[in-house]
Amino acid sequence: MSLLKTEHIGMTFGGLKAVSDFSIEIKENELVGLIGPNGAGKTTIFNMLTGVYAPTEGKVLLGETVVNGKKPYQIVNLGLGRTFQNIRLFKGLTVLDNIKIAFHKDMSYTTLSAVFRGKKFWKEEKEIEIKARELLGLFNMEADAGALSSNLPYGKQRKLEICRALATNPKLLLLDEPAAGMNPQETKELMETIAFIREKFKVSILLIEHDMSLVMGICERIVVIDYGRMIAAGTPAEIKSNEKVIGAYLGQ
């Protein structure tokens, strides 16, 4: 069954056609790469999928639901999580609180219960405290739970953002340049992390990345766009040798 399906979506900014006629389908447990030159429209595609922008053309389907025009938080509730090209953490909050916020939709106690500290409040708060710490543990970040997230080094901030996205319990995770600003060693660790997430959480992943070692190393399938249009799709090996892709993106 497909988790995500887009039908000829497009996005226009003023006179600029940033994305056009883009169709993709992602199934359960897939790891897909989205690559393309700078300004090709990759981030814009992510923004359309997550409801940050409403596509000016076409349809986005999550499972059976058409999500065009839905608010980002509603789309999250349908099982889509994401990270941002420019890291967007809750900078003034602790690492743990960053994660806890992402559990919001899994909790249901009311304001009344919160104010009177009812049974449900304690139960749910305890649950997410445990879950959040577990999640941090998986990323070897338990020790940082109490730290202010803005004080983390860059690499850990990226990890925390992924971790936070996972806390929303997505079926499909979108990662926008997760390896940007990491050195090759750190990138290697990140690849392991991604592989691990996929196993552990049974999520599909769609990622944008310019670091070819990562893309070619872990993606099963790669989609290439240029000037907002898909120019190639296939396995890493196929893409590597695709003339068009070499010309527009990879270079010699």
Restricting to residues 48-67, name those near other proteins by CB under 8 A.
Answer: 50, 52
Nearer residue to other proteins within complex by CB, 29 or 94 = 94
Name which of residues 16 to 55 contact other proteins (CB under 8 A).
16, 35-40, 43, 47, 50, 52
The token pair at 75 is 């789309």
Q: In the set 1, 64, 185, 243, which binds other proteins (CB under 8 A)?
A: 185
210 binds other proteins, rule: CB under 8 A: yes
186 binds other proteins, rule: CB under 8 A: yes
Give, in degrees to the nearest 5, the angle at Cα 196 between 190 and 197: 90
Pairing mode, if any, of strands 221-226 and 229-234? antiparallel
Q: In the set 29, 68, 85, 94, which binds Mg ion (CB under 5 A)?
A: 85
Residue 146 interaction partner, one of other proteins, Mg ion, ligand ATP, none, beta carbon < 5-8 Å per kind: none
Q: Enter the DSSP assignment of 78.
A: T
Cα 98 to Cα 89: distance, rounded to the nearest angstrom: 7
Nearer residue to other proteins within complex by CB, 27 or 161 = 161
35 binds ligand ATP, rule: CB under 6 A: no
Q: In the set 1, 15, 38, 243, which binds ligand ATP (CB under 6 A)?
A: 38
Question: What are the phi and psi torsion angles at 67 (to 5°)?
Answer: -110, 5
Place of tokens 């909050």: 93
90 binds other proteins, rule: CB under 8 A: yes
18 binds ligand ATP, rule: CB under 6 A: yes
Residue 52 interaction partner, one of other proteins, ligand ATP, Mg ion, none, beta carbon < 5-8 Å per kind: other proteins
Cα 222 to Cα 239: distance, rounded to the nearest angstrom: 7
Q: Supply the angle between the helices 154-167 and 95-102 in degrees, to the nearest 10.
A: 30
Min separation Cβ 54 and other proteins, Å: 12
Do 231 and 248 meet the contact criterion of CB atoms below 8 Å apart? yes
Task: Tell how far CA 156 is from the center of its chain.
Answer: 16
Place of tokens 């999520």: 203
Do 234 and 56 meet the contact criterion of CB atoms below 8 Å apart? no
End-to-end, the C-alpha distance of the chain in Å comes to 38
Nearer residue to ligand ATP within complex by CB, 128 or 176 = 176
44 binds ligand ATP, rule: CB under 6 A: yes
> How many residues make contact with Mg ion (CB under 5 A)?
2
Q: Give the interface with ligand ATP as residue ranges (CB under 6 A).
A: 13, 16, 18, 36, 38-44, 85, 153-154, 181
